[in-house]
């Protein structure tokens, strides 16, 4: 049976890692395990349960900054922000239901460890862009800090960037500091109906190249649109392209009117107001189309926006699937049958030459054991990544091989 170590203080966290190093017992770092299914299966002697390191330690709304222990539930942080009419501007999705978990689960540390980012990524960046500083226990059993509590800081290497998206393989964070932002007053979404994927990308590109400050740019092929909770989207009876505008009320109204005019050249337009607009983008951030189809393996591909539609058609020529686009066409979500290699050869084959990358976000454990979950890297880059891992965790005790089979 695996041990479950649950430190309550940064000192205990350091001690737990020091024990793992001395006993050569790898640890799997877990917040609430809400995204446990993402990544390669980890063989560890013990889990390092971070949920005991809990609580907001600093929140200064007027300074746009919040610090919390890494195991603090994300829901607790979002509730505190909502009270001051602020939010995590990069719109992290609630992904636990993707693996059958309860909605609303997850910790701030886990969210940063996975570098979450929702539809607003195109305007506000990802978790990495809002992560200001941390304290963490490295795989040497030492507590180190990096960054600070101010946005503008170039003192020393930006190690926050490395930890963000490292899936617990470099260090176990004890406390983190993030930048927070005011919530937009209003949200509206312009819909363009009936576009195929390639025309949709052009419409999204036109919207993103306009001065209207677009904060969401997605395309839902018919199959995805038909399953939407938003009646206007469902009732469209075909593909729906969506462009979101946010800001003060008079501004949103004016931009919405202009954008509708400009996008009319592409097709029939419609608009969603506050509630429906919020519902649609929540659906996309939370990947609801794939929550509803739990049997599908789920791929996430990031490419130049103009490559998205071509990539999708190449995949669909070889394998049926459920897909939609976010980030102006540059983020492609693909649900494929999980049999065999879960479509890996098809996906990565189609991706070759685009410069982009694909990650298998959801698949049965035996598939994730066998095929590269994260995009395989060219040898020199893989060697460098390994040296970076060793700089933090020379004995490979922290969440080993979650990202790559070699380390």
Partner 1 sequence: MRMPEPDAEVVARKGEIVKALQEIVPGEGVIFDPKELAAYESDGLTAYRQPPLITVLPETVEQVSGVLRYCHEQKIKVVPRGAGTSLSGGALPLADGILLGLGKFNRILEIDYENRCVVAQPGVTNLGITKAVEHRGFYYAPDPSSQIACSIGGNIAENSGGVHCLKYGLTTNNVLGLELVLIDGTVLRVGGKHLEAEGYDLLGLLTGSEGLLAVVTEVTVRILRQPATARALLLGFDSSEAAGDCVAAVIAAGIIPGGMEMMDRPAIHAAEDFVNAGYPRDVEALLIVELDGPEAEVNHLIERCSDIARSKGAVYERLSQSEEERAVFWAGRKAAFPAVGRISPDYYCMDGTIPRHRLPEVLRRMREMSERYGLRVANVFHAGDGNLHPLILYDANRPGELQRAEEFGSEILKLCVEVGGVLTGEHGVGVEKRDLMPSMFSETDLKQQQRVKCAFDPDHLLNPGKVFPQLHRCAELGRMHIHRGQVPFPDIPRF
Q: 254-313: which residues touch partner 1 (CB under 8 A)?
A: 254-255, 302-306
E strands, 12-90, are 27-30, 46-49, 56-60, 65-69, 86-87
Rounded Cα–Cα distance for residues 35 and 20 (Å): 23
| Candidates 74-82, 158-166, 262-270, 273-281; binding stretch for partner 1 (CB under 8 A) | 158-166
Rounded Cα–Cα distance for residues 301 and 348 (Å): 9
Residue 82 engages partner 1 in binding (rule: CB under 8 A): no
Subset of 50-69 contacting partner 1 (CB under 8 A): 52, 60-65
Rounded Cα–Cα distance for residues 34 and 26 (Å): 20
Residue 172 engages partner 1 in binding (rule: CB under 8 A): no
Subset of 126-145 contacting partner 1 (CB under 8 A): 126, 128-129, 138, 140, 142-145
Structure tokens at 23: 């006993």
Subset of 321-340 contacting partner 1 (CB under 8 A): 327, 330-331
- The minimum distance between CB 148 and partner 1, in angstroms, equals 5
* Whether 238 contacts 270, CB under 8 Å: no
CB of 222 or CB of 273, closer to partner 1: 273
- The minimum distance between CB 133 and partner 1, in angstroms, equals 9
CB of 52 or CB of 364, closer to partner 1: 52
Instruction: Pick the closest to residue 213 from 191, 241, 238, 184 (CA basis).
Output: 184
Subset of 331-390 contacting partner 1 (CB under 8 A): 331, 355-357, 359, 374-375, 377-378, 380-381, 384-385, 387-390
Q: Which long-range contacts (CB under 8 A, 24 or more apart) does 305-310 make?
A: 305/201, 305/204, 305/205, 305/208, 305/329, 305/330, 306/201, 306/205, 307/354, 307/355, 307/356, 308/197, 308/201, 308/332, 309/197, 309/198, 309/200, 309/201, 310/198
- The minimum distance between CB 80 and partner 1, in angstroms, equals 15
CB of 36 or CB of 227, closer to partner 1: 36
User: CA-based Rg of the chain, rounded to a whole angstrom?
Assistant: 21
Residue 125 engages partner 1 in binding (rule: CB under 8 A): yes
Number of residues that bind partner 1 (CB under 8 A): 105
Write the interaction track for partner 1 spanning residues 186-215; mark x where CB under 8 A is met and - where it is not: -------------------x--xxxxxx--
- The minimum distance between CB 158 and partner 1, in angstroms, equals 5
CB of 87 or CB of 286, closer to partner 1: 87
Rounded Cα–Cα distance for residues 314 and 44 (Å): 39
CB count within 10 Å of CB 79 equals 10
CB of 25 or CB of 369, closer to partner 1: 25
CB of 57 or CB of 231, closer to partner 1: 57
- The minimum distance between CB 405 and partner 1, in angstroms, equals 13
CB of 91 or CB of 232, closer to partner 1: 91
- The minimum distance between CB 6 and partner 1, in angstroms, equals 5
Rounded Cα–Cα distance for residues 163 and 360 (Å): 20
Q: Write out the DSSP string of 188-234.
A: EEEEEES--HHHHHHHHHHHHTSTT-EEEEEEE-HHHHTT-SSHHHH
Residue 23 engages partner 1 in binding (rule: CB under 8 A): yes
């Amino acid at each position: 049976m695996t041990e479950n170590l649950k430190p309550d203080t940064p000192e205990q966290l350091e001690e737990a890692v020091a024990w793992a190093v001395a006993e050569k017992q790898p640890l799997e770092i877990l917040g609430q395990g809400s995204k446990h299914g993402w990544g390669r299966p980890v063989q560890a002697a013990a889990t390092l349960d971070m949920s005991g390191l809990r609580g907001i330690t600093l929140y200064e709304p007027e300074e746009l900054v919040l610090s919390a222990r890494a195991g603090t539930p994300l829901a607790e942080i979002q509730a505190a922000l909502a009270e001051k009419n602020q939010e995590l501007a990069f719109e992290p999705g609630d992904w636990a239901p993707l693996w059958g978990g309860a909605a609303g689960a997850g910790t701030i540390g886990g969210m940063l460890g996975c570098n979450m980012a929702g539809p607003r990524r195109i305007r506000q960046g990802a978790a990495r862009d809002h992560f200001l500083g941390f304290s963490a226990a490295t795989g040497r059993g030492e507590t180190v800090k990096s960054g600070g509590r101010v946005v503008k800081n170039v003192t020393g290497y930006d190690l926050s960037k490395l930890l963000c998206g490292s899936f617990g393989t470099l260090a176990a964070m004890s406390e983190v500091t993030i930048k927070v932002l005011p919530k937009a007053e209003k949200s509206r979404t312009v819909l363009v109906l009936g576009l195929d994927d390639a025309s949709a990308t052009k419409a999204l590109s036109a919207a993103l190249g306009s001065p209207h400050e677009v904060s969401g740019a997605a395309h839902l092929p018919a199959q995805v649109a038909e399953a939407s909770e938003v009646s206007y989207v469902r009732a469209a009876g075909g593909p729906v392209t969506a462009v979101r505008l946010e800001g003060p009320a008079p501004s949103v109204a004016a931009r919405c009117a202009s954008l509708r005019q400009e996008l009319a050249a592409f097709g029939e337009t419609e608009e969603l107001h506050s509630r429906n607009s919020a519902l649609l983008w929540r659906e996309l951030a939370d990947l609801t189309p794939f929550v509803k189809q739990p049997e599908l393996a789920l791929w996430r591909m990031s490419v130049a926006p103009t490559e998205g539609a071509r990539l999708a058609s190449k995949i669909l020529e070889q394998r049926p699937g459920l897909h939609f686009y976010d980030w102006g066409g540059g983020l492609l979500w693909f649900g494929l049958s999980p049999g065999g290699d879960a479509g890996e050869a098809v996906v990565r084959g189609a991706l070759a030459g685009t410069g982009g990358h694909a990650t298998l976000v959801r698949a049965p454990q035996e598939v994730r054991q066998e095929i590269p979950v994260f995009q395989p890297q060219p040898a020199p880059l893989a060697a460098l990544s390994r040296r970076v891992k060793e700089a933090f965790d020379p004995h490979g005790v922290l969440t080993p091989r979650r990202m790559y089979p070699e380390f």
